[in-house]
Amino acid sequence: MKEVEVEEGCSVLEATRRAFSVEYFPSDEPSGHGGAVVVAIEGVKSDLNHCWAFYVHDERLGGWAFPDRTCDKVVLRRGNVVCWRYYNYRVEGFPPKRPPLSTECIRLGQSG
């Protein structure tokens, strides 16, 4: 698991792009996402059964939350941690039924 500090106000997408090799579509409106969709992180690509999903951990909200917005529209606040999870949505459904596991996460901590 890699931990990276980012500035307050940084989007989840921008923080992830600063830390890792990321492939994404800036807008995936035809699929109903309404914003950016990450399709690969560090060469691990989405396919017909798998996709990348992210969670934000916020103590004020009581733990992990699965945002209802795309990664370019979620802005980090002090103390947030972001965890990306590569999961099989055909098996688990959408949204994912379980929270992220540390072995399958990329964590982005926030500085300042």
d(CA 41, CA 38): 8
Domains and CATH numbers, the chain: 3-110 (2.170.130)
Tens of pLDDT along the chain (112 residues) come to 667 778 878 999 998 998 889 999 887 666 666 789 999 999 999 999 999 999 988 777 778 888 989 999 999 887 788 888 888 988 988 888 777 766 555 566 655 4
Element (H, E) at 91: helix 89-92
In this prediction, residue 12 carries a pLDDT of 93
**pTM, entire model:** 0.82
Strand partners, 63: 58
Q: How far is CA 53 from the centre of its chain?
A: 5
Residue in this structure with the two tokens 């540390």, named with its chain if needed: 102
Most distant CA atoms of the chain, gap in Å:
39
In this prediction, residue 2 carries a pLDDT of 67
Burial class (CB in 10 A: 0-12, 13-18, 19+), 26: exposed
Residue in this structure with the two tokens 């992210």, named with its chain if needed: 54
